[in-house]
Amino acid sequence: MAAPITETFDGIPLSGDGDPDDTRSFGDSPRIVNGWTINLLDADGNNAPGDGGTPSYLDVTGNAGDTVLVGPGDNALSVNGWLGVAAQAQFSATTGEEFWLESFAIVSGGMAPNAQLVGYRDGIAVASQNFEVTSSASIISTSGDEWKNIDEFRIVQQDGASDISFFIDDITVANAVQNVAPVIGNLGGDGASFIEGGTAVLLDAGGDATVVDSDSPDFDGGSIVVKITADGTPGEDVLSVRNEGSGAGQVGVSGSSVFYGADKVGDMTGGTGTNDLVISLNDQATPNVVQAILRKLIYANTNTLDPSTLIREVQISVNDGDGGSTAQTVTMNVVSVNDAPTATNLTQTVTYTEDPGSSVALNDIVVSDVDAGDTITAILTLSNPAAGSLRTGTFGSATSTYNAGTGTWAVTGSVADVNAALAAVAFTPSANWDQDVTIATRIRDAANTGPADGTITLDVTPVNDAPVVTAPSSINVTEDVLTALTGISFADVDAGGGAVTARFTVVSGTLTGTDRPGVTVTGSGTGTLTLLGSIADINGFIADSELQFQTALNSTSDVLLTVRIDDNGKTGSGGNEFYAQDLTLSVTAVNDAPVVSVPSSISVTEDVASSVTGISFSDADAGGSSVTATLSVASGTLAATSGGSVTVGGTNSAMTLTGTIANINAFIGASNVTFTTASNVTSDVTLTAGINDGGNSGSGGAQSDSDTVTLQVAAVNDAPVVTAPSSINVTEDVFTALTGISFADVDAGS
């Protein structure tokens, strides 16, 4: 194929000679003339129609109306567009080959004078210049290297007019001058690295790229195209130009405009998605300017979490606007940075009721990590290990563990396995635990990064737990002895330091106690005693022997003690809770001393056996057992004969009576004991009455008692007594003393 040649239209049959194929072409049918394809276009570049009231046509004519340039035998092309439609005349190389347009002759056919000559290459406008079309023939010559390698030119009506109409002749062309492509140095093979989440980096890693073009003083109509040719990710990659500023020698960007210093040098489009970065250059874009731009081309990645780390191949091509282009390839290494995992529900509040009967579920903690394949460690730590435990298990390749001593639950594995473990973990509270506790939450990846630690609050609603009484089945006490009741204690898991009421009840005997700090006592000295205070204070009160019991007088029967505690609603919901327990107060009997009862005196008669009555004995615990009563006098004699189940022993001055209390009392009451004064003794006599219970009954050995009573002697007048010899010798008539005769009277006195 050859480029079109200079065209004079001479030798082309004139239109109207009857040859419709060669002589006339309407606007919608391009005309082929010696390697030229000629057409009429509308303002948008579409084929203009060739029919209508004022048809468009392309005719070869011999009368161009200007005899200066067009004489006899000198043909020209008449271009006449449909008024209001045709705005451009298109002259292109039929073969597509490039040519150098030097000049052409043109005369107006009635069109508006303002026109523009536009040169195209490969469908892209690469050259243009304005001119006027007049009724006088003009030679329009091109100026600039950009006209040296085009494959099409157009004459375009300006000012919005669509009345294209002119005669054209002597289209002079030469062989296209092949443009020397620009040379890019110090760029190809460069490699740069972008750090995930970082700022954009220069594609010119060395910052020393050069651009040289031997035949293009500027790159007007050219471009810089940057494209990722391998391993790009459209949703992440961004290509652009770094905005240095507007100072001298600086590359600046404002919107889509690219500046060098204060001069706009091009317009920028694309650079994201699948769109290449294209900088369309103007006549201010000298090689030096383009070089500066290449040094400021940048790459960024919008994926701040997990970008593709494939090494991008980036092609940078420069077109000088004159048909020459060159490209270099650099690489961009995207370096992934560890991203901290995130997690939901690290801080939450979970409410439950004390002793729920099952584990308490936590709101699922869900871990996310954009770094695929990262290893995650989750740690949950109970603030008080005594509060309970955290459930463990095996999930995929991860097994959670729990240290009861430290309250620490932990699991390490993949995100999926750790999330499964976290979804299954639950809190199992200890029995009766009614205090709020917290769980510290921590999530870390293999690089020990993660979200801020959280806190799970386990908010428990307490339920009032019943108090408990601990007491022995029996407590030993001693008859009639004030005995401390120890060994009794109370417990209440949730009463804490609150005041509770402990009540002690017996049906026999009395309970005693005295207020002390922390404990208030009521009912002391009765059968019902109440203590009000904390569990600790009441337990201390009892342990210190402050609670005491004494049997009813001489009572030896075991006593039932009822111990009852009321926690007064402490603490939790559900109202007051009670607990009661019975125990036996096992009484150890103490041998009670017998008692002798005597009247103030007993009357007896001198020398007469008088009954000794009014003396009696008692013994609270002798019962039907045998005791020994003793009656003794210092003067006189006592007499009695065994009988009535009473055995008489001893002497007549110290008589013993052995038998039961009742029998002895009956024996004495029946006047079975008599006393006789010593002969003619009228002085009162003291009688000592004693008793020995022989240990009956109870501990402590034999007990005794004694008392005295006065035996008041009623005197009896005793007859006088004459004592004389049977005879007395006398001498007759001699006054003789009669001796040997005496008188006596024990009670005559003086």
* Domains located in the chain, CATH noted: 24-175 (2.60.120.1350), 183-335 (2.60.40), 342-454 (2.60.40), 468-586 (2.60.40), 595-714 (2.60.40)
Pick the closest to residue 305 from 345, 276, 271, 334 (CA basis): 334
Q: In this predicted model, what pLDDT tens digit does every residue of 652-668 receive, in sequence order?
A: 999 999 999 999 999 99
Cα separation, 336 vs 307, whole angstroms: 7
- Tell me phi and psi for residue 570, to 5 degrees: -105, 125
CA distances from 150 to 172, 180, 571 (A): 13, 15, 99
What pLDDT, on a 0 to 100 scale, did the predictor assign at position 72?
A: 58
What pLDDT, on a 0 to 100 scale, did the predictor assign at position 160?
A: 78
Tell me if 370 sits within 8 A of 449, measured CB to CB. no
Tell me if 335 sits within 8 A of 312, measured CB to CB. no
Q: Which two tokens stand for residue 446?
A: 């293999």
Q: Which two tokens stand for residue 314?
A: 């980036």
Handedness of CA 49, 54, 60, 66 (dihedral sign): negative
Handedness of CA 36, 37, 39, 45 (dihedral sign): negative
Q: Which two tokens stand for residue 503?
A: 């009540």
What pLDDT, on a 0 to 100 scale, did the predictor assign at position 66?
A: 42
What pLDDT, on a 0 to 100 scale, did the predictor assign at position 359?
A: 94
What pLDDT, on a 0 to 100 scale, did the predictor assign at position 366?
A: 97
Cα separation, 447 vs 341, whole angstroms: 10
Cα separation, 427 vs 358, whole angstroms: 9
Q: In this predicted model, what pLDDT tens digit does every residue of 92-137 receive, in sequence order?
A: 999 989 899 999 999 888 888 999 999 998 888 989 999 999 888 8
Count of residues making up the chain = 750
DSSP, collapsed to helix, strand or coil, labels residue 536 as helix
What pLDDT, on a 0 to 100 scale, did the predictor assign at position 18?
A: 36
Cα separation, 425 vs 345, whole angstroms: 13
Q: Which helix (H) or strand (E) holds 421?
A: helix 415-424
Tell me if 45 sits within 8 A of 88, measured CB to CB. yes
Alpha helices (H) along 597-720: 661-669
List average pLDDT for each run of 10 residues in the chain, which is 750 residues long: 76 58 56 89 78 60 50 75 80 92 90 92 90 90 88 90 84 84 89 93 93 85 94 94 94 95 95 94 93 95 90 93 85 91 96 92 94 92 97 96 97 96 96 92 95 96 87 95 96 87 97 97 97 96 98 93 90 74 93 92 95 94 90 96 96 96 96 95 94 82 91 88 88 89 74
What pLDDT, on a 0 to 100 scale, did the predictor assign at position 517?
A: 97
CA distances from 490 to 162, 177, 333 (A): 113, 114, 75
Tell me if 615 sits within 8 A of 505, measured CB to CB. no
Tell me if 415 sits within 8 A of 374, measured CB to CB. yes
Pick the closest to residue 638 from 694, 685, 680 (CA basis): 685
Tell me if 55 sits within 8 A of 78, measured CB to CB. no
